[in-house]
Amino acid sequence: RVFSSRDRKTLASTAMSRENAVIRDRESLERKTAAIRSAGASKLQVIADFDGTLTKYSINGRRGQTSHGLLQQGNTEYDEKRQALYDYYHPLEYSPTIPIEEKTKLMEEWWEKTHGLLIEGGLTFDAIKKSVADATISFRDGLVELFEYLEEKDVPVLIFSAGLADIIEEVFRQKLHRSFKNVKVVSNRMVFDNNGRLISFKGKTIHVLNKNEHALDMAAPVHDKLGDPNGSVDDYTMVKNRTNVLLLGDHIGDLGMSDGLNYDNRISVGFLNDNIEKSIESYKEAFDVVYLNDASMWGVVDLVSQLC
């Protein structure tokens, strides 16, 4: 599907009126929108979380899976071992009483053990392809049009995730059958041997807590070590020079993704997927725009068309 920018605008404004965006301070949003627009597309970048932000929270009444959650190693013993780790550590991730330093150590422990099990259990790239094909995962409607618009305007999109880069990229391949030259995934990246078997992970582990503290600092070494012909230190400099940010997340902690950046203006969009009544007030305080009820990306397409 190819949409003209007029089509996109019509679709986006229709979606806007259907899906109510909650905006606490409309004046402030308008001020930031005007400032970003007047600085131009060359100053803008988009920083997005993956799970539950770019992907739907619920699909046909079932919870959408995450990049970790969808992975079946094809080795039941190791799938069960990773599940046991999840059952132990996931409640700790959300515990309000564990001090942050302690929780950071626990999360490092969890990620290291999980990565270790993936290597020990002999994960193959074929198992990743099959897992993605069998997964309950899909992108929010309007995501392709959002990325196409940003690609046309040469605005980079950094996807930060504490999940698994190789899986996220496979989801893009299988679900969208295309890639975008402006989109980079900064996440845990695997190294496979010649037989397609996982042997190690590249660079520093990104887990839920350091993702929110140093994600941007990690963008450079991750690209560097990738040997990605499209990724370089220049990329990083470019990202540092783009001082206007549109940030997309589904947890308040995602706001930390722009911490490494000395930005001039930031518009933050939060997708509130769960516990709406309990969380709406804090999300309204934290994000400039909040979308409820697993909304599409059309509202964001509309917003971006006002920014560049």
For the annotated catalytic residues, the residue numbers are: 49, 51
Q: Which is nearer to ligand TMP, 23 or 85 (CB)?
A: 85
Q: Three-state SS for 79? A: helix
Count other Cβ atoms within 10 Å, centred on residue 75.
17
Q: Which is nearer to ligand TMP, 106 or 155 (CB)?
A: 106
Report the nearest approach of ligand TMP to the CB of residue 114 (Å): 4
252 part of the interface to ligand TMP, by CB under 6 A: no
Q: Which is nearer to ligand TMP, 43 or 115 (CB)?
A: 115
What long-range pairs does 277-283 form, CB within 8 A, spacing at least 24?
Answer: 280/22, 282/252, 283/22, 283/252
Contacts of 232 (CB under 8 A, 6+ apart): 223, 224
Considering only residues 165 to 224 of the shown chain, the ones binding ligand TMP according to CB under 6 A are: 208, 211
Closest C-alpha to 215, from 241, 179, 195, 185: 185
268 part of the interface to ligand TMP, by CB under 6 A: no
Q: Which is nearer to ligand TMP, 45 or 161 (CB)?
A: 161
For tokens 């999109």, name the residue. Answer: 157
Report the nearest approach of ligand TMP to the CB of residue 291 (Å): 17
Near ligand TMP by CB under 6 A: residue from 64, 121, 163, 270: 163
Near ligand TMP by CB under 6 A: residue from 78, 111, 149, 236: 111
Positive or negative, the CA dihedral 164, 167, 172, 173 is positive
Closest C-alpha to 107, from 125, 130, 88: 88
Considering only residues 29 to 88 of the shown chain, the ones binding ligand TMP according to CB under 6 A are: 49-51, 66, 68-69, 82, 85-86
* Pairing outcome for strands 157-164 and 62-63: unpaired
Report the nearest approach of ligand TMP to the CB of residue 17 (Å): 30
Residues found near ligand TMP in the complex (CB under 6 A): 49-51, 66, 68-69, 82, 85-86, 93, 110-111, 114, 161-163, 208, 211
